[in-house]
């Protein structure tokens, strides 16, 4: 594989990361709970960081900040309830039918967004494995595998969020 082909693949990955950042930012504003919102904003920030890292791996690629026309607010600027995060409580399914339902109903639109994000993360995990195999040097390979590890963490976290928002009570088990 030529260096040009690798850079084209990296540039496509940069665009994917920026799109993922926008998706997570949008999902965060729809989140039914402050702790879920905070986690999704962290994911958005990490996706932006991935785009910047990718643009360093292949300097010939267009810089990530020039590819992203959105005005970006970092989570600390957008999370007005930072003090609530320490006391944020995500409900777990009750152990008995007499315990209360979660304090937020699952929203179909939000649930679809989480499912789409989960699918996107699965795709990204495979994409970074392929990019790592194409890497022109050990440093690029290591950076790509670090990004892949972040994507694996996102997937696991999204599965947890999905299990929390999809839980409808013991009568539906």
Quickly count: other Cβ atoms within 10 Å of residue 24's Cβ: 24
pLDDT of 67: 56
CA angle 60, 64, 70 (to 5 degrees): 150
CA Rg value for the chain: 18
3-89+104-172: CATH homologous superfamily?
Answer: Ferritin, core subunit, four-helix bundle (1.20.1260.10)
Encode the chain (173 residues) as per-residue pLDDT tens digits: 577 889 999 999 999 999 999 999 999 988 888 889 999 999 999 999 999 999 988 877 666 555 555 544 444 444 444 444 444 444 444 454 444 444 455 578 888 999 999 999 999 999 999 999 999 999 999 999 999 999 999 999 999 998 887 764 333 43
Give residue for tokens 């304090």: 103
pTM attached to this predicted model: 0.74
Given this model, what pLDDT does residue 105 score? 56
Closest CA to 30 of 116, 91, 96: 116
């Amino acid at each position: 594989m030529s260096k040009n082909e690798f850079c084209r693949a990296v540039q496509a990955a940069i665009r994917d990361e920026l799109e993922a950042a926008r998706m997570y930012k949008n999902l965060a504003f729809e989140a039914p709970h402050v702790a879920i919102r905070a986690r999704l904003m962290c994911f958005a920030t990490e996706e932006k960081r991935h785009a910047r890292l990718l643009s360093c791996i292949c300097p010939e690629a267009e810089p990530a900040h020039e590819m992203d026309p959105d005005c970006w607010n970092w989570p600390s600027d957008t999370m007005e309830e930072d003090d609530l995060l320490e006391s944020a409580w995500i409900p777990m399914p009750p152990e008995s039918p007499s315990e209360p339902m979660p304090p937020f109903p699952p929203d179909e639109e939000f649930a679809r967004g989480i499912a789409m994000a989960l699918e996107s993360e699965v795709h990204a995990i495979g994409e970074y494995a392929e990019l790592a195999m194409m890497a022109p040097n050990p440093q690029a390979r290591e950076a790509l595998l670090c990004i892949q590890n972040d994507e694996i963490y996102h997937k696991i976290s999204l599965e947890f969020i999905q299990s929390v928002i999809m839980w409808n009570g013991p009568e539906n088990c």
